[in-house]
Amino acid sequence: MKEKESVLLISPPSPGLKEKLSYPPLGILYLASNVDGDPRISVMNMLTISEPIESGFDIYGVSIHSVSSYHEARKVIDRIREQENKALIVVGGAFPTSMAEYTLETTKADVVVKSEGEVTFSQIVSGEPFKRIRGITYKKNGVVHENPPQPLVENLDKINFPARHLLPREQIVYEGKVHHSDKPATTIFASRGCPWSCNYCQKDIWTRKWRSRSPENIREEIESVKREYGIHWFRFPDDNVTVNKNWFRQFCGILKKSQVEWTILSRSDTIDMEMLKTAKESGCQEIFFGFESGSQRMLDLMGRRNTVEQNEQAVKMCRELGIKSCAYMMMGFPGETAESVEETIGFLRRTKPDKARLSTFLPIPGTDVWDNPGKYGVRIRGNFADYWYFDNPETGELYPFGLKYDYLSGGNKEMDVLRQEMINFFSEEGYISGWTK
C-alpha cells in the first residue's frame, strides 16, 4: 500500500442529540494529534447530514460511537464512496469494535479499527501493510481478515493532547447553558475504562481495565486550554474518575491549583464524604451518577453491584456539601415491570436530585444482554435506524424499543405504557427534555 498523504476525520451527526456542540469529538481529535509523520489532516464535526464533505483526501476516517449513530454514519460513508472511489475508508468507535464484520458487510468501509485507535490508525496512515497492523479487521478480495488485538496504551501520558485547533472555536468552546452553568465550557478526559461489568455496558472498546493520566499531565492540558480558549469550566466525561481514592485526591489537588470549576461522572459506591469535601474545595460543581433504577431487583439484574441505599446516600452527601447531584435513570432494561417503575419514581421523589435524565434502554453489541437475550426473556430488534437512547418529553416523540419484551404478557405495548408513566412523572416534576430545571 502506498503511503497516504492526506486524511479527513469525520464525526457524523447524531439525530436526537440536542447539544452536540457541548461535547467536542475528542476521539477523532486524539487520532489527529497522534499520527506519526506529517500528513495533511482535517477534522469535520458534522452537525447535519446535508453538510458537504470535502473531496481529495487519501483516507477518510469515520467515527461510529454507538449503535444509535450507525445509521447516519452509514449514509456518510456512502457519500464518501460516491465522491472518492479509490479513497481508503476507515471506521472506528464502540459499534464497529464489537461489530467489525457486520460493519464491513453493511457499509462501504474498507477497514475497522477496533478498540483504542491512536497507535493503530497511525500505522494505517503511515502505509503499514494491513497484515502487519494489530487491532484491525479488513476486507481483501471479498474476504474478511481479523488481526490480533492491539495492546492498550499503558501510559496515557504518552498520548498527545487532542488536536482541538483543527476545529472552529465554536465547536470547542460551548457558550450555551449546560450543567447548571452558562459559562464557556469544554470537555477533557482524565482516564479511560471502567472496572465494573454492568450488563448493559459495552466492554470491548477499553475492556474492563481502568487507566489514568498523571495529575501533572492533566493540569498541563488544562492550562493549555485555558490559555488558548479562556475556559475555566471543564466537564470530565470519563466513565468514572473516582475509582482510585489516592489518585482522585491528587487529581483534585491539580484542579484546585488551576482554579477551575468542573463536573464528573461517578458511582455511589466509590465516594465518601472526605472525597466529596476535597472535590468541593477544588472546584467540583456537580457529579453525574448512573443510578439507573430505584429498584434493587433491577440493579441486580443490571449487574450494578451497588445498592439503592448507596445511591440515596450519594445524593444526600452531595446536598450537604453544596455539590449538584445529577441522576441518569434507565427505562426498559429487561425485567422492568410496573413495580420497578413505581420504585424508581419513589426513589426520585425521596432523594430529589438536582438533575435527572431518563434514557430508553438499548441492547448494545458487546454487552451481556446482546449476547444472551434469551436469558433475559427478550429478543433483539435488528433495525438500527430506529435506535436512539433519549425520548423527547417536550414533543411526546417516543423512539421504538430495541427489544421485544417476551416476558411481559402485554409485550412492547405494556412496556410503552410503563415508559409513558415515567415520562409523565418527569413532566409533572418540572423536567425539560429529560433534565430538571
CATH at residue 37: 3.40.50.2300
* Dihedral pair phi/psi, residue 219, rounded to 5°: -65, -35
Q: Is residue 390 part of a domain?
A: yes
pLDDT value of position 392:
63
pLDDT value of position 399:
76
How confident is residue 435, by pLDDT bands cut at 50, 70 and 90?
very low
- Most confident region among 58-67, 212-221, 393-402 by mean pLDDT: 212-221
Between CA 76 and CA 102 the distance in angstroms is 17
pLDDT value of position 12:
95
How confident is residue 1, by pLDDT bands cut at 50, 70 and 90?
very low
Examine the fold and report which residue of 139, 159, 186 is the final residue of a domain before the chain moves on: 139
Between CA 170 and CA 183 the distance in angstroms is 13
Q: Are residues 409 and 340 in the same domain?
A: yes
| Proportion of the chain above pLDDT 90, given as a percent | 78
Task: Give me the mean pLDDT over the 122-135 stretch.
Answer: 97
Task: Give me the mean pLDDT over the 336-358 stretch.
Answer: 95
pLDDT value of position 436:
38
Please give the mean pLDDT across all residues of the chain.
92
pLDDT value of position 431:
62
pLDDT value of position 266:
97
Residue 217 clears pLDDT 60, i.e. is over it: yes
Q: Is residue 167 part of a domain?
A: no
Q: Are residues 418 and 281 in the same domain?
A: yes
Q: Is residue 146 part of a domain?
A: no
pLDDT value of position 176:
75
pLDDT tens for each residue of 381-412:
877 767 777 666 566 677 788 899 999 999 99
Task: Give me the mean pLDDT over the 100-118 stretch.
Answer: 96
Task: Give me the mean pLDDT over the 87-99 stretch.
Answer: 95
Q: Is residue 166 part of a domain?
A: no
**Stretch among 190-204, 221-235, 280-294 having the lowest mean pLDDT:** 190-204
Q: To which H or E segment does residue 200 belong?
A: none
Q: Are residues 130 and 177 in the same domain?
A: no
Residue 180 clears pLDDT 70, i.e. is over it: no
CATH number at residue 241: 3.20.20.70
pLDDT tens for each residue of 135-167:
999 999 889 999 999 999 999 999 999 999 999
Residue 49 clears pLDDT 50, i.e. is over it: yes
Q: Are residues 91 and 211 in the same domain?
A: no
Q: Are residues 179 and 119 in the same domain?
A: no
Task: Give me the mean pLDDT over the 223-241 stretch.
Answer: 95
Helices of type H across 69-128: 70-83, 94-98, 100-106, 118-125
Q: Are residues 293 and 220 in the same domain?
A: yes
The total number of structural domains in the chain stands at: 2
Region of residue 160 (left: phi > 0; alpha: psi -120 to 50; beta: else) = beta
How confident is residue 433, by pLDDT bands cut at 50, 70 and 90?
very low
Q: Is residue 392 part of a domain?
A: yes
pLDDT value of position 393:
57
Q: Can you give the residue range of the structural domain that contains 121?
A: 6-139
Q: Are residues 124 and 246 in the same domain?
A: no
Q: How many CB atoms lie within 10 A of CB 234?
A: 23
Residue 3 clears pLDDT 70, i.e. is over it: no
| Proportion of the chain above pLDDT 70, given as a percent | 93
Between CA 376 and CA 197 the distance in angstroms is 16
Q: Are residues 269 and 393 in the same domain?
A: yes
Q: Are residues 132 and 228 in the same domain?
A: no
Q: Which amino acid, one-letter code, is at 96?
A: P
Q: Is residue 158 part of a domain?
A: no
Examine the fold and report which residue of 97, 115, 139 is the final residue of a domain before the chain moves on: 139
Q: Are residues 203 and 307 in the same domain?
A: yes
Examine the fold and report which residue of 116, 139, 162 is the final residue of a domain before the chain moves on: 139
Task: Give me the mean pLDDT over the 25-30 stretch.
Answer: 97
Q: Is residue 190 part of a domain?
A: yes
Q: To which H or E segment does residue 41 belong?
A: strand 40-45
Using DSSP's 3-state secondary structure scheme, residue 367 falls into: coil
What's the predicted TM-score (pTM) here? 0.93
Q: Are residues 373 and 266 in the same domain?
A: yes
Q: Are residues 253 and 397 in the same domain?
A: yes
CA 349, distance to chain mean position in Å, is: 28
Sign of CA dihedral 314, 317, 319, 323: negative
Q: Is residue 118 part of a domain?
A: yes
